[in-house]
């Protein structure tokens, strides 16, 4: 989530920080003359906020998740400053359910996207849950408060032919490949055949592969590791990359996908690589690493893989997250239902 900078959490901007009008409104209502940065520093001096931050870090939450939680508290402290600021510190117990509802309404009035409001409320429930458990407040004022319903967008999807064309675009330079071209092919193959997240792929190291390149240790969200199989073209691409890169020792080390300086590729760089070959393959600009992840799951589902097997492969904490991929199989379900309705005999095994 966003850090310092500008941008109200609008539908057309990245989430993270307060817009200047919000800061001025809070300042004028409290009579204070402080910048948003000063208020954020004051928030970080709050003992309860610091304790909550330490709990998040110890529980294995990512730095971005911890930063987002502090951003949510900063937003609440700014918009409800007159209520919460007690002169010596924040009085979080002053916030009751009516004021919590008013806070949500203020976010709606400021054109925060429904998805952003839902995420903010989730973060604040986490903080007030901590306050409730530790006995600092009697109850969570955000409990059972929901924001406006967010429009659920269907994830992008490639057909199997389009996914094959994307990977094949790496071969257009001829039979001899440079380390960079072999690296790019391995990236595309891993995305499509393992469904790893962009951040997970950027964090991979050579030592995460077993000796025969048949399994890969992936470090997922919340510090949860998982092993995924590496087969077929993805395995061959990694084998070729290891050979040409000189990673033939018993214990190769370093970033699996490195830039020219030897450091790990950034998510932005990997995204550019995917878009480059998508363009060369004649595919739309909407092709992203996330599209390959969704396509991997959908094509496995189409080939009758078990939903829980897909859940384990993708590293989803709940089956509900994996079920988002089910909508892409509706065409096949409709075809089978049509056969039932028109009296077609079932296929025999």
pLDDT digits (tens, 9 = 90+) for 34-70: 444 555 577 778 888 889 999 998 888 888 888 888 8
74 vs 4, 96, 138, 141, 165, CA distance in Å? 11, 18, 22, 17, 47
CA pair distance 214, 231, nearest whole angstrom: 6
Mention every residue, 6+ apart, whose C-beta is less than 8 A from residue 99: 80, 83, 141
> How many other CB atoms sit within 10 Å of the CB of residue 240?
17
Where do the CATH 1.10.443.10 domains begin and end in the chain?
Answer: 160-337
CA pair distance 193, 233, nearest whole angstrom: 9
Dihedrals φ, ψ of 113, to 5°?
A: -65, 145
SS3 label, residue 61: coil
CATH number of 160-337: 1.10.443.10
**Contact (CB, 8 A) for 69 and 59:** no
pLDDT digits (tens, 9 = 90+) for 294-337: 888 878 777 776 777 777 777 766 655 565 655 444 444 444 44
Beta strands in the chain (DSSP E): 215-219, 225-229
Looking at the whole model, is its pTM more than 0.75? no
CA pair distance 272, 285, nearest whole angstrom: 11
CA 304 to chain CA centroid, Å, is 26
**Contact (CB, 8 A) for 92 and 48:** yes
CA pair distance 56, 47, nearest whole angstrom: 14
CA 298, 303, 307: angle at the middle one, nearest 5? 60
pLDDT at site 91:
87
The DSSP code for 10 is B
Can you list the residues of the chain whose pLDDT is less than 70? 1-40, 150-155, 172-177, 245-252, 305, 316-349
Residues annotated as catalytic are: 197, 221, 290, 293, 316, 325
């Amino acid at each position: 989530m966003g850090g310092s900078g500008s941008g109200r959490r609008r539908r057309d901007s990245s989430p993270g920080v307060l817009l200047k009008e919000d800061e001025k409104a809070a300042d004028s209502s409290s009579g204070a003359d402080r910048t948003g940065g000063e208020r954020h520093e004051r928030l970080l001096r709050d003992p309860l906020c610091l304790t909550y931050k330490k709990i998040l870090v110890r529980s294995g939450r990512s730095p971005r998740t911890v930063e987002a939680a502090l951003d949510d508290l900063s937003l609440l402290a700014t918009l409800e400053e007159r209520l919460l600021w007690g002169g010596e510190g924040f009085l979080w117990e002053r916030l009751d359910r009516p004021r919590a509802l008013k806070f949500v309404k203020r976010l709606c009035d400021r054109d925060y996207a429904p998805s952003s409001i839902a995420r903010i409320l989730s973060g604040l429930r986490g903080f007030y849950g901590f306050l409730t458990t530790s006995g600092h407040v009697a109850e969570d004022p955000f409990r059972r408060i929901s924001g406006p319903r967010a429009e659920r967008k269907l994830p992008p999807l490639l057909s199997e032919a389009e996914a094959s064309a994307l990977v094949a675009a790496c071969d257009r330079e001829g039979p001899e490949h440079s380390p960079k071209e072999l690296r790019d092919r391995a990236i595309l193959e891993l995305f499509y055949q393992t469904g790893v997240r962009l951040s997970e792929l950027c964090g991979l190291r050579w030592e995460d592969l077993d000796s025969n390149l048949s399994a890969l240790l992936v470090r997922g969200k919340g510090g949860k590791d998982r092993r995924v199989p590496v087969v077929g073209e993805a395995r061959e691409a990694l084998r070729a990359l290891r050979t040409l890169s000189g990673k033939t020792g018993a214990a190769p080390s370093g970033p699996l996908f490195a830039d020219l300086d030897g450091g790990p590729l950034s998510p932005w760089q990997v995204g550019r690589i995917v878009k480059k070959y998508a363009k060369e393959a004649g595919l739309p600009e909407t092709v992203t690493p996330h599209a390959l992840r969704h396509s991997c799951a959908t094509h496995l589902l189409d080939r009758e893989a078990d939903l829980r097997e897909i859940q384990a492969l993708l590293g989803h904490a709940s089956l509900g997250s994996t079920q988002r991929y089910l909508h892409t199989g509706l065409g096949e379900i409709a075809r089978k239902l049509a056969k039932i309705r028109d009296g077609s005999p079932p296929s025999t095994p």
